Amino acid sequence: MSLYKSISLSSLTDARGGLIAIESYKNIPFDIKRVYYLFGTDITESRGYHAHKNLKQLLICVSGSCEVTVDDGEGSEVVLLENPDQALLIEGLIWREMHNFSEGCVLLAIASELYDETDYIRNYDDFISYSKQVKEGLDECHS
Ligand code: T46
């Protein structure tokens, strides 16, 4: 199973330029509770290095490009975001890191929950332990 879902957003483009609309349950599978964006990130910097317990999130490079590493504790993939019509949907327990920001990159995040620091796991070893606990809990439910 893939660690993320890639969503191709329909663009309404005419002679004036492009427009992309994102609407809950039309092109993304959750209610939008929060929108934020990362900008002015120095090209030598990386961000993220955390997982979320419950958050669902859509990431779009509305300008420039960056790479997002997604990791479920058993394997990882690197996704290049470089088009405003390309969205990365991250759901479930996934460690994420953002690297290789281009000059002028603006990374838009659309989230299913309000900001809650208790939803973050910011230590990789804690992420692995928590993932194991959740998986064992699920295995027990299915046995
Ligand atoms: C994610 C990636 C893509 C707030 O006060 N409210 C907010 O809504 C957010 C997102 C952050 N903050 C505070 C928490 C920290 O004190 O802003 C500070 C910087 O946040 P953080 O270090 O978590 O930033 P990133 O770029 O590492 O991660 C962010 C999101 O936090 C995270 O959910 O998935 O962007």
Cα(138) to centroid of ligand 1, in Å?
A: 29
Which mutation among 36, 89, 124 tests ligand 1's pocket best, with the greatest number of atoms within 8 A of CB?
A: 36
Total Cβ atoms within 10 A of residue 128: 16
Which mutation among 34, 50, 58 tests ligand 1's pocket best, with the greatest number of atoms within 8 A of CB?
A: 50
Q: What letter would DSSP give residue 136?
A: H
- The domain total for the chain is 1
Q: Give the domain CATH number at 121.
A: 2.60.120.10
pTM for this entry: 0.95
Please state, in angstroms and rounded to a whole number, the distance separating the CA atoms of residues 62 and 104: 10
Cα(103) to centroid of ligand 1, in Å?
A: 20
Domain containing 49 equals 5-10+24-141
57 lines ligand 1 (CB under 6 A): yes
39 lines ligand 1 (CB under 6 A): no
Residues 6+ apart with CB under 8 A from 114: 33, 34
Please state, in angstroms and rounded to a whole number, the distance separating the CA atoms of residues 93 and 82: 24
Does a structural domain hold residue 15?
Answer: no
Per-residue pLDDT of the chain (143 residues; tens, 9 = 90+): 689 999 999 999 999 999 999 999 999 999 999 999 999 999 999 999 999 999 999 999 999 999 999 999 999 999 999 999 999 999 999 999 999 999 999 999 999 999 999 999 999 999 999 999 998 888 777 66
Does a structural domain hold residue 17?
Answer: no
Does a structural domain hold residue 16?
Answer: no
Q: Which residues are part of the catalytic machinery?
A: 50
From the CA of 48, give the closest atom in ligand 1. Answer: 27
For 98, how many CA atoms within 13 A lie in the half-sphere containing its CB? 24
Does a structural domain hold residue 133?
Answer: yes
